[in-house]
Amino acid sequence: MAALKSPSDIARETLKQLAARRLSPTPDNYQALYEEIAGSASPPAFPAAALRGILRVMPGQTPAQKRLLNQLEQAIAQQSWSTLQSVMVGYANLGLTPADASLAPTPLEVEAAHVPQRLALALARLVDNTLPALGEEDMRLGDMATQLVGMLRSDMPTVADTERMLADFGHRLSFAAEEQGALRTSLLTLLHLLFENIAALSTDDDWLHGQVQALLAATAPPLNLRRLDEVEQRLKDVIFKQAEAKLHTRQAQEQMRELLATFIERLAQMDESSSSYHSQMEQCAERISQADRLQDITPLLEEVIRATRAMALSSRVARGELQDLRERAEARHAEIDQLRQELDRASSMARHDALTGSLNRKGFDEAVQREVARAQRQDTPLCIALLDVDDFKSINDRLGHAAGDEALVHLADVTRQGLRPQDQLARYGGEEFIIILPDTVVDEGVQVMRRLQRELTTRYFLKDGERLLITFSAGVAQMAGKDDISDAIRRADQGMYLAKRSGKNRVVAA
């Protein structure tokens, strides 16, 4: 093609070539053909805008990264491809090759390095959460914590300052933690001595022994807030039942005293009547011995007969009253014994199932309310698992109800041993159990229940030398936001029903 000198000629030829080559008339195609026809090429435009967009999202936390990002910004401003290439290579080699002496941070850079903001805030929260457990006795520790938290929550805390203040705080904290541990051990020892002395001073008071045993169990290390809450609720219920039983006992004792007073009064009346009767008989005998005629003896005999009849009638009435008093006394004794037995049961099993030792419905309602409130307050997951023993009726029909009860006890024991300390087992009714799983999402809850199923397959239930495999079907539901606990239980029940329908010994997430 002949060289074209005029720009207008080059432009006309460029349009002809676009049509001949069937190219779209875009600026890029036009520029390429124009340069081809003119026999010259313009240098490519520097992508400053695109590079600045990359610069904004590249990390710049370490001194080396910050230095390379400054160089990259200068390369973009100068539109220097060579500097840009050098910066890209240096950034790519960070952490992959041995540190170059030219890239190593200087001591001044290390001293001025800043702690990442997320790490600083996490350390500040850690210090805030540590102080309440140490009390307020150590004022110096509180001042150090306030200074440390203030520095960590400042705009740019340096690594050097953070390291120095953390070392001082940790040194002081070790002494405070040791002192708190010694105080707790001493207080627990004193409480145990107090409880044991109370029990020793009340050898005949069974209900008080129940309270003491509960307190001793609750204060046995390691301490657990859930255990303390349970015992607190349990003792409140026991105290209420004790007050009610004590009132009934006092009433029964007062009635017993009234019965005894009436009994003594009747005995005195009988004795008085008997003395009067004997005196009257003696007088009649004396008068009969002095009588000379039969007519004088006849009225005396009538008087003796009347007195004897009156004495017999009085004796029958007194005997009937005494019999009634005895029956009433026996009834009061039986009532007092029943109250004592109810009080003993209240002391030991206020919120627990008498057969399996797991929580009963009342204990479950209180426990799940606490866990729901905690989960909503701390925004943590909470799962409810509902399980039902498979073919439980066949066990009862073939081996008897006593064997069925033993099977439930076996299931509860294996389940409790396979759960975490914070998990809680409750008997929901019959052969149904419900498990509270704090800090657990639904997938983890399903895995927990499957692990319990595997554990039951390795631990057979033995009855009269026969090994029985106990299985269960379960549904697992996770609390969602402000979800009501009844909704979660209903969904878990639906999951359990589907597990039954799909072949039993299964776990279904609801």
For 240, the 3-state DSSP assignment is helix
477 close to 489: Cβ distance less than 8 angstroms:
yes
φ/ψ of 507, rounded to 5, equals -125, 130
CB atoms within 10 A of CB 233: 17
Torsion of CA 172, 174, 176, 177, to 10 degrees: 160
424-429 vs 461-463, strand pairing mode: unpaired
Q: Name the active-site residue from 13, 230, 406, 431.
A: 431
Contact criterion met (CB below 8 Å) for 435 and 419: yes
- What type of residue is 6? S
**For 508, which DSSP code?**
E
Question: How far, in Å, CA of 183 to CA of 135, rounded?
Answer: 11
Strands 507-509 and 472-478: parallel
- Looking only at the bridges linking them, the beta strands covering 382-389 and 472-478 are antiparallel
DSSP codes, 197-214: HHHHH-TT-HHHHHHHHH
Helix and strand counts by DSSP (H, E) for the chain: 17, 7
Question: Which tokens is 152 given?
Answer: 């960590």
Contact 442, 477 (CB under 8 A): yes
Cβ neighbours around 64 below 10 Å, total: 20
What is the token pair recorded at 449? 């229940």
For 386, phi then psi, to 5°, come to -115, 125
Q: Active-site residue 431, yes or no? A: yes
Cα distance between residue 76 and residue 58, in whole Å: 15
- Contact between 270 and 318 under an 8 Å Cβ cutoff? The reply is yes
Q: What token pair was written down for 125?
A: 């929260």
Instruction: Round to the nearest angstrom and report the end-to-end CA distance of the chain.
Output: 78
Question: Are 438 and 371 in contact, with CB atoms under 8 Å apart?
Answer: yes
Bridge pairing between strands 424-429 and 466-468 = unpaired
Burial classification of residue 380, based on how many CB atoms lie within 10 Å of its CB (0-12 exposed, 13-18 middle, 19 or more buried): middle
Q: Could you give the CA distance from residue 47 to residue 308 in angstroms, rounded to a whole number?
A: 137
Q: Are 115 and 159 within 8 A, CB to CB?
A: yes
Determine how many CB atoms are found less than 10 A away from the CB of residue 244.
14
Q: What is the SS3 assignment for 22?
A: coil
Q: Which residues are marked as active site?
A: 431
